[in-house]
Amino acid sequence: MDERVSSIPGSETYLRRRDLPSFYRSKEIDTTGMEFVDKETQKSTKARALILNTFEDLESPILSEIRHRFPKIYTLGPLHTLLNTKRAEPISISSNGLWEVDRTCMKWLDSQTPKSVIYVSFGSVVLMKHSEMMEIWHGLVNSEKPFLWVVRPDSITEELESSDEVAVEVTKKRGCVVGWAPQEEVLAHWAVGGFLGHGGWNSTLESVVAGVPMICWPHFADQTVNSRFVEEVWRVGLDMKDRCDRSTVEMMVRDLMDGKGKGEGLRESTARMGELARESVTEGGSSFCYFEELIEDLRSMCQ
């Protein structure tokens, strides 16, 4: 699983087979997932242009390779930040979610010290077993760092046990658990110093914009690739791929929050990448200019 993938231009030196989506890890090429991706990729070659939610400074080498095949590309990311640049009143992606936002967590964050809290959220789709949830919980408690954990009502695939009541009581002393949180606001809060998530693309960009280093526990699709880039290429976090045990969670949370071990220098490199992300959507930035170009091209197509 650790053999290098040499067939993807621009990522030959760091991408491994274990970093690919699950259907790519197989040496068989007739899987349903492979067929779907191949079909959709072939369709994209017929498009006049590609619109990508990324920015030039984040993925320049990869974008250069894509432009050999798709000359016209509009990089408009981070899209959530670009949209707020263009709107009179900023809007949070979290406010458009499927679950009601619990804003009590913001008051709890106000009571914490700067950069002390690890924010934990695995997005709107990821499911986890009860055993996995307890390993993460033990790791968080053992790390002795205050944490804000988003646990969706439908995110646990098994029934909770009576012993979980004890866990809840312990959590009250050091952490805060809510059903859903205003993620962009949370990441921008001065008390948040790290983010343990699933490595989804939107969450990754939101964390980068906020300058918050992350720990990625990927599950499927692009998350496994994203988590590798987060640690190995961009140096904005740690990759917890294929692992979910309390000792690993504790170690990575400590390293990330204390800036030691594998977490050394991550806060600084994440802050630099965050500056580049925000610059890209300001007037004169790459994403801002590509957005203006896209609007003009669409107008000319309609004439």
Q: How many helices (H) and strands (E) does the chain have?
A: 13, 8
Q: What's the N-to-C CA distance of the chain in angstroms?
A: 52
- For 155-170, the DSSP string reads -BSSPPPTTHHHHHHH
> Using an 8 Å Cβ cutoff, are 220 and 22 in contact?
yes
DSSP string, 203-247: HHHHHHHHT--EEE---STTHHHHHHIIIIIS-SEEE-TT---HH
The torsion angle over the Cα atoms of residues 82, 84, 88 and 89, rounded to 10 degrees, is: 170
d(CA 48, CA 39): 17
CA 77, CA 193: separation in Å to the nearest integer? 23
| pTM for this prediction | 0.90
Looking at residue 137, its amino acid is: W
What's the pLDDT score for residue 131?
87
Contact present, 237 and 220 (Cβ < 8 Å): no
238 exposure class (CB count in 10 Å sphere: 0-12, 13-18, 19+): buried
What are the structural domains, with CATH classification, of the chain? Answer: 17-84+283-302 (no CATH), 100-277 (3.40.50.2000)
Please choose, from the candidates 209, 199, 201, the residue with its C-alpha nearest in 3D space to the C-alpha of residue 237.
199
Residues 6+ apart with CB under 8 A from 8: 15
How many Å apart are CA 263 and CA 228, to the nearest integer?
15
Residue 223 confidence (pLDDT): 94
* pLDDT by 10s per residue, the chain, length 303: 777 888 888 888 888 989 988 777 666 665 677 778 788 888 888 889 999 999 999 999 999 999 988 889 999 999 999 988 876 565 655 555 667 899 999 999 999 999 999 999 998 777 888 889 889 999 999 999 999 999 887 766 666 565 555 566 667 678 999 999 999 999 999 999 999 999 999 999 999 999 999 999 998 889 999 999 999 999 999 999 988 899 999 999 999 999 999 899 999 999 999 999 999 999 999 999 999 999 999 999 888
Please, are residues 194 and 213 in contact by the beta-carbon 8 Å criterion?
yes
